[in-house]
Amino acid sequence: MTLETVSENKAFGGTQGVYKHASAETGTEMSFAVYVPPHDKGARLPVLWFLSGLTCTHANVMEKGEYRAACAEHGVILVAPDTSPRGDDVPDAKDEYDFGKGAGFYVDATQQPWAKHYRMRSYTERELPGLVAANFPVDMDRQGITGHSMGGHGALTIGLRNSERFRSVSAFAPICAPSQVPWGEKALGRYLGDDRAAWREYDAVALIEDGARVPKLLVDQGTADQFLDEQLKPELLRAACQDAEIDAEVRMQEGYDHSYFFISTFMAEHVAWHAERLASDA
C-alpha cells in the first residue's frame, strides 16, 4: 500500500508528520497524523492511538492536543486517524454536524447509502494499523488507545473488543453509552438499522454488560461540559465497571468543558499513564 507524505516537521526532537493513502476499506483517500519521538536507530516504540470526536479530523489534536512534549519524554508514538471517509462521492448529511462526514462513529455501517464507505471500524482496527506497522518504528505488541467524545466512544469500544491487543485504554469525555443518548441513537440507528441488538458491540456500557473486560480504564470528564448530562453519561460507565469489577478511574475535573482546552490540560497525564503500561517490561 502506497503511503504519501503530506508534511513533516521537527518537533521536540522528533517528527510530526501527516500522511495519506488510498484506503481499501473506505474506498476513499484517507489522511492521518503520526508523531514519532526521538529514538535510537533500530528501536521499536510503543504506539498510542488517538481517536477524535465529532466534526474533527486528525488536525484537531495535532494542532491543539499538546501531546508532543510528553510523547518525546516517554518515547511513545502517537497516531491520529481521521473520523470518517472523505470525498465528493461519499454520502453526507450536510446540515447535520453529528452524522455523515466527520461523524463516522467508528462503526462499519450496514445500511445504505452509508455501507460502501463508512467502514471506520475496519479501517481503525485493521487497515491503518497494518499500514502504520509497515512504515513506522512501532512495536505492535505495545499498543494503547485513547480518544475524545465520539473518539472516546471509539477508544473504549475498540479497546474492549480487542483487549488482547491494547495494554491500555483511556478517554476524554467519551460517549459512554451511545445506545442510550441522542447522538448515539441517531448514528447507530442510521448506520446500522433498527435492530438495537446490533448496536451493542458499539456501546462501551453494553460491551461490559455482555462480558468484555479490560484490566483498567482512565477517563477524564469536565464538570462544565455542556454535553455531560444528555450525551456522555459517565455515571453509566462507572456503574458498569463497578458491576464487572473493572478498575475504572473516572475523574470529574471541576470547571472544565468539552473543548481542547480541557484535553490539552490532561493530555500529558494520559500519555504518561499509557507509557507506564506500555513499558517493555510491563
Residue 203 has pLDDT above 90, yes or no: yes
Options 74, 148, 153, 258, the catalytic residue = 258
105 in Cβ contact with 150 (< 8 Å): yes
Which pLDDT tens digit goes with each residue over 253-263? 999 999 999 99
Does 225 participate in catalysis according to the annotation? yes
Query: Quick count: other Cβ atoms within 10 Å of Cβ 222?
Result: 25
d(CA 251, CA 265): 13
d(CA 123, CA 168): 20
Grid cell digits, residue 101? 462526514
Options 84, 225, 270, 274, the catalytic residue = 225
Give the range among 108-112, 179-183, 248-252, 278-282 with minimum mean pLDDT.
Answer: 278-282
Give the torsion sign (CA, 238, 243, 248, 249).
positive
Does 117 participate in catalysis according to the annotation? no
Grid cell digits, residue 235? 455515571
Residue ranges of alpha helices (H) inside the chain are 58-64, 68-74, 120-122, 128-135, 150-161, 182-192, 204-209, 234-244, 260-278
Alpha-carbon dihedral 141, 214, 115, 130, rounded to 10 degrees: 0
Options 23, 149, 168, 170, the catalytic residue = 149
Any residues with CB less than 8 A from the CB of 192 and at least 6 apart, and which? 107, 109, 110, 111, 198, 199, 202
d(CA 106, CA 11): 29
Which pLDDT tens digit goes with each residue over 112-145? 999 999 999 999 999 999 999 999 999 999 999 9
User: What local confidence, expressed as pLDDT, does residue 232 receive?
Assistant: 98
Query: Quick count: other Cβ atoms within 10 Å of Cβ 136?
Result: 18
Residue 1 has pLDDT above 90, yes or no: no
Does 84 participate in catalysis according to the annotation? no
Residue 282 has pLDDT above 70, yes or no: no
% of the chain residues with pLDDT over 90: 98
Residue 281 has pLDDT above 90, yes or no: no
Which pLDDT tens digit goes with each residue over 6-15? 999 999 999 9
Alpha-carbon dihedral 33, 57, 270, 128, rounded to 10 degrees: -50
CA 77 vs CA 12, 67, 74, 84, 278: distances in Å = 13, 10, 9, 22, 11
Q: Name which of 220, 259, 270 is nearest 67 in CA terms.
A: 270
